[in-house]
A = this chain, B = another copy of it.
């Protein structure tokens, strides 16, 4: 079953709203195992809407149109369906009565323009919309199911779940499901991950593999289509194990995991508390950790020592250590040990460096992370490209990544 989403609305083209409907429908279709090859967005223009629908109908088993079924003149999805399928417009006296009753029940007078919502292309069926006045539509046109649903997300979502998906499933006969597993990694580039998994990428269409990069994180997505979720999981399992064994220790989690939530889980498992001491990232590591609900199970606090005096005052950094250089592995290690003592925690993460754009004691982009645990303490120097915000964000994630490794007993300098 190939299903295409056509979103109607000039406000989408103008970027006044983001097309979240297409993403919602896309995810629901994927979960049901249907193929989605294309999405289109078209404005409130009858000629262009007709062309977009003709194209969608020509290449799909089902077309889901969102938006353009309201009562105003710029709502022309009904007219567009008539034009694209060569059908006349009909009028539902029954729905007109229902509309009048609905308004009467609310004690309001119905604007006559609302009667546009009782119109429908010849052969179509009206679909009840419990949350709004515009009914959805379904039309079986020469073997292609054409649906029209509202653009209002909560109305669309209900019609999709209750009316649209069941009808597409019924048409499809078999119920194949699509299952995705996302393996999340940090510390290797997209190209390196792609090379390590190249043969897996080439060999499979089911399961298939895709690589996704976002903010420096590389995700490997394995997707399988099968008759049941359990069968899809069985198809995915061996590929997943292979990818993990090739990419570990860069693999920090799966699906919705975050490095910070994994780190906190590991800390709680070992009964260790955590603190942070930041300079160049200025609180970003602390903020990431405390974004996790329940962080207080392990996290105690942080010192952001943005200048040398604060490093002396709050972290007990000595003049000798300052002389070794503010941006140095020695300083990062002293900050981490100072944080362990002054915060009274088992594990400390520290960051110092020059985030840019100007050099401060080191070239811009030179960032140093250290982690101290009851077992060991090590530092790592990063040289990062990009602007200040990118450097800080990458450094914060790297710090959390190294802390995760250290708490797992995996040290990089051995």
Residues of B within 8 A of A278 (CB): 283, 286
Give chain A interface residues in 43-84, CB to chain B under 8 Å. Answer: 43-45, 48, 52, 55, 70-74
The answer to whether A13 touches B37, judged by C-beta atoms less than 8 angstroms apart, is: yes
The answer to whether B13 touches A26, judged by C-beta atoms less than 8 angstroms apart, is: yes
A311 to B283, CA, bound (A): 17
Interface size on A, residues (CB 8 A): 112
Q: Of B287, B383, B390, which contacts A282 at CB under 8 A?
A: B287
Residues of B within 8 A of A213 (CB): 70, 152
The answer to whether B195 touches A358, judged by C-beta atoms less than 8 angstroms apart, is: no
Residues of B within 8 A of A198 (CB): 73
The answer to whether B301 touches A106, judged by C-beta atoms less than 8 angstroms apart, is: no
The answer to whether B23 touches A102, judged by C-beta atoms less than 8 angstroms apart, is: no
Residues of B within 8 A of A194 (CB): 71-73, 111, 113
User: Does A166 have its Cβ within 8 Å of any Cβ on chain B?
Assistant: no
Q: Of B16, B40, B189, which contacts A40 at CB under 8 A?
A: B40
Give chain A interface residues in 192-223, CB to chain B under 8 Å. Answer: 192, 194-195, 198, 201-202, 210-214, 221
A157 to chain B, nearest CB (A): 12
Interface of A is mostly: mixed
The answer to whether A40 touches B38, judged by C-beta atoms less than 8 angstroms apart, is: yes
Residues of B within 8 A of A389 (CB): 291
Give chain A interface residues in 268-288, CB to chain B under 8 Å. Answer: 276, 278, 280-287
A390-B154, A392-B291 given as contacts; is B15 within 8 A of A26 (CB)? yes
A19 to B13, CA, bound (A): 12
Residues of B within 8 A of A402 (CB): none
Spot the interface stretch: A137-145, A231-239, A302-310.
A302-310
User: What 5 A-B pairs are tightest by C-beta distance, nearest first?
Assistant: A282-B290, A283-B286, A15-B27, A15-B26, A283-B283
A38-B40, A309-B344 given. 15 additional CB < 8 A pairs?
A12-B23, A13-B36, A14-B36, A14-B180, A15-B23, A18-B20, A38-B48, A71-B191, A111-B189, A282-B287, A283-B287, A290-B306, A299-B306, A300-B310, A304-B304
